[in-house]
Structure 1
Amino acid sequence: MSVIVEFRVLSSDFELGQILPVEGNSTVELETLVPLGEASVPLFWIHDSTRESFVERVQRHSAVEQATAIDAFEDRTLFTLDWDANRDHLVDAVQANDGQMLSAVGSATSWTFEVRFPTHESLSAFSTSCGDAGINLEVTRVYNPSEPDVQPWYGLTEPQFEALTLAIEMGYYDIPRGCTTKELADELGVSDQAVTERLRRAIVALVTYTLPVGDEGR
Structure 2
Amino acid sequence: MSVIAEVRIPPDDFELGQILDLDEVSAIELETLVPSGDVTVPLFWVYDPVDGVLDTIERYPTVNSLTEVDVFEDRTLFRLDWDASQDHLFQCILDHGGQISSATGASEGWDFEIRFSHREALSQCRTCCEDAHISLEIIRVYNPTDPGVGPWYGLSEPQREALLLAVRMGYYDIPRGCTTEELADELGISDQAVTERLRRAIGAFVRHALLTPEPEA
TM bucket normalised to smaller: 0.7 to 0.9
Aligned-pair distance for 1:18?
1.2
Alignment of 1:196-215 (within 5 A): 196-206=195-205, 208-209=207-208, 210-211=210-211
Alignment of 1:161-180 (within 5 A): 161=160, 166=166, 178=174
Aligned-pair distance for 1:123?
0.4
Alignment of 1:1-218 (within 5 A): 1-23=1-23, 26-50=26-50, 52-108=51-107, 110-145=109-144, 146=146, 148=148, 150-161=149-160, 166=166, 178=174, 183=179, 185-186=181-182, 189=186, 192-206=191-205, 208-209=207-208, 210-211=210-211
Question: Cα deviations across residues 44-103 of structure 1 (Å, max 9, x unaligned)?
Answer: 1112222x4111111111000111121122222111100101111111222222222233
Contact persistence 1:48–1:76 (CA under 8 A): yes
Contact persistence 1:28–1:105 (CA under 8 A): yes
TM-score (structure 2 length as normaliser): 0.77
Contact persistence 1:41–1:80 (CA under 8 A): yes
Computed over aligned residues only, the root mean square deviation of the Cα atoms, in angstroms, reads: 3.2
Aligned-pair distance for 1:170?
6.4
The 2-side partners of 1:40 and 1:208 are apart by 27
Gaps of 5+ in 1: 214-218
Instruction: Describe the SS at the equivalent of 1:131.
Output: helix
| Shift in CA distance, 162/142, structure 1 to aligned 2, threshold 3 Å | closer
Across the two proteins, how many residue pairs are aligned to each other?
207
Aligned-pair distance for 1:195?
3.5
The 2-side partners of 1:138 and 1:63 are apart by 26
Contact persistence 2:96–2:122 (CA under 8 A): yes
Question: Cα deviations across residues 150-172 of structure 1 (Å, max 9, x unaligned)?
Answer: 342321235534655757x9696
| Shift in CA distance, 179/126, structure 1 to aligned 2, threshold 3 Å | farther
TM-score (structure 1 length as normaliser): 0.77
| Shift in CA distance, 134/186, structure 1 to aligned 2, threshold 3 Å | closer
Contact persistence 1:34–1:41 (CA under 8 A): yes
Gaps of 5+ in 2: none
The 2-side partners of 1:171 and 1:82 are apart by 38
| Shift in CA distance, 26/181, structure 1 to aligned 2, threshold 3 Å | farther
| Shift in CA distance, 105/94, structure 1 to aligned 2, threshold 3 Å | same
Aligned-pair distance for 1:179?
5.3
Contact persistence 1:25–1:108 (CA under 8 A): no
Contact persistence 1:6–1:142 (CA under 8 A): yes
Instruction: Describe the SS at the equivalent of 1:128.
Output: helix
Contact persistence 2:140–2:156 (CA under 8 A): no
The 2-side partners of 1:137 and 1:11 are apart by 11
| Shift in CA distance, 132/171, structure 1 to aligned 2, threshold 3 Å | closer
